[in-house]
Chains A and B, each alone.
Chain A
Amino acid sequence: QQQVKQSPQSLIVQKGGISIINCAYENTAFDYFPWYQQFPGKGPALLIAIRPDVSEKKEGRFTISFNKSAKQFSLHIMDSQPGDSATYFCAASPGSSNTGKLIFGQGTTLQVKP
């Protein structure tokens, strides 16, 4: 299966709260799991990425948690700010070749209320 399933579709969080977005995959050959952030009218931009040899990666307020046995990974945004309001996409890259193709999740629209 070449799908990545993302939830929730939309999320509303109060300023200072924690935003959590989840993704699940089936293909055990996936070996690269990035998260992209997209603001309205712009293209997606890489936010943070992880490979399956680690269970967690943190960059500032953004953390990826990775559960290889469950084939799930999630994005946690600590101390969420109104400027974090955007659409977030998880993705996975099939490791069978080096073409760099990404399979994207359906996206989550995050709104952080002041």
Chain B
Amino acid sequence: NAGVTQTPKFRILKIGQSMTLQCTQDMNHNYMYWYRQDPGMGLKLIYYSVGAGITDKGEVPNGYNVSRSTTEDFPLRLELAAPSQTSVYFCASRGSNTGELFFGEGSRLTVL
């Protein structure tokens, strides 16, 4: 089982560039989440989705956008990258009848 798959694993961006982090899950989960992880800060929720066509902001949404056109995919868009967006990004999904989040292996982004 693939679970939650994130691409790319590593990326270096220049300030002002844009990119999309891809996330796909094969567990037919309705709920999907994007977190960022910074040293000593834990994981902060960027955006989440409770189903196809429905998204909402988390704790730190500024500078990011998401879409959810299918159950499987939940891409995260970074517009006008800034050094403050240097982080490790994790996508996660959850089924309707459990509290357990299943995480991908992360995407490490550096903005120079």
Chain A residues packing against B (C-beta within 8 Å): 2, 4, 6, 9, 32, 34, 36, 41-46, 49, 89, 93, 99-107
Contacts and interface: CB of A to CB of B under 8 A. Distances in A.
B101 A100 contact: yes
A73 to B, nearest CB: 15
A110 B35 CA distance: 22
A41 B45 CA distance: 19
B43 interface: yes
Interface of B: 4, 31, 33, 35, 40-45, 48, 50, 56, 58-59, 90, 92, 94, 99-101, 103-106
A104 B103 contact: no
A43 B106 CA distance: 6
DSSP majority for the B interface?
strand
22 contacts: A6-B42, A34-B99, A34-B100, A42-B106, A43-B90, A43-B92, A43-B104, A43-B105, A89-B42, A93-B99, A100-B31, A100-B33, A100-B101, A101-B45, A101-B48, A101-B58, A104-B42, A106-B40, A106-B41, A106-B42, A107-B40, A107-B42
A85 B43 CA distance: 19
A13 B82 CA distance: 39
- Among B31, B56, B103, max chain A CB count under 10 A is at B103
Contacts of A104: 35, 42-44
A49 B99 contact: yes
A90 B38 CA distance: 16
Given A46-B100, A49-B100, 12 more contacts: A41-B105, A43-B92, A43-B105, A43-B106, A44-B90, A44-B101, A49-B99, A93-B99, A100-B31, A100-B101, A101-B58, A104-B44
